[in-house]
Amino acid sequence: MNYKIPLELTNHHTDTTEIDASVIWLHGLGADGYDFEPVVKQLLRSETFLNVRFVLPHAPEIPVTRNNGYIMPAWYDIYGVIPVQQEDEAGIKASQRYIESLIQTELSRGIASERIVLAGFSQGGAIALHTALRYAHKLAGVLALSTYLPLHSKLVTEAHDANKSVPIFMAHGVYDDVISPDMGKLSRDLLQNNRYSVSWHEYNMAHSVCAEEIADIQEFLKQVLQ
């Protein structure tokens, strides 16, 4: 699988030797790492994130079955409408391994795992959730935006205790017609029933982000990275 070098953003006043936390932020289907660059640049205006590196990876380009085999950036294949009866387990786990390699890169730069947040929107959020709950070292938190938990039937057997108490921020638009709010709530309920710490947020929007959500994201990141 070919992965382009991730986009990396920091406050332009910050000496990179002072970076002590990282946020790895995954885009949605058909987008790339630049998709959330404007949001991250907005966050970086806050002094809260002076010492934070944002890593925005690019998904590999693969044929997406749901889109008639059209080749586009995707973290895994999608076979039908969401929710689906069939999931691309091999593709999901390949993306998990790639995100774990990005975490390892941050560890090699001297960032403690407890200072690393996994974030993602839509398909990227699914991978962020999937990876974080299986990761063998404690993470700072998870941002799961307009998304769901994939391979949910395997959560109990595959989850790692290291992130049993990781703070999870889940957000959804009440008018989302790509991944329905009900699907997001099913994932939220599954996580809460398994005693994960999930904060749930709803916004008057479709499958997107909004100013109110960005403000809440900023507050969440401030809390978990303080």
Q: How many Å apart are CA 171 and CA 51, to the nearest integer?
A: 25
Token pair recorded at residue 42: 């907005």
Q: How many Å apart are CA 166 and CA 164, to the nearest integer?
A: 6
Token pair recorded at residue 67: 């889109």
* From 27, 130, 172, 207, active-site residue: 207
Is 58 designated active site?
Answer: no
Q: How many Å apart are CA 63 and CA 29, to the nearest integer?
A: 12
* From 22, 95, 113, 122, active-site residue: 122
Q: How many Å apart are CA 73 and CA 126, to the nearest integer?
A: 15
* From 113, 176, 180, 187, active-site residue: 176
Is 172 designated active site?
Answer: no
For the beta carbon of residue 29, count every other beta carbon within 10 angstroms. Answer: 20
Is 122 designated active site?
Answer: yes
For the beta carbon of residue 14, count every other beta carbon within 10 angstroms. Answer: 15
The residues, any chain, with a CB within 8 Å of residue 209's CB and separated by 6 or more, are 39, 121, 145, 146
- Active site (catalytic) residues: 122, 176, 207
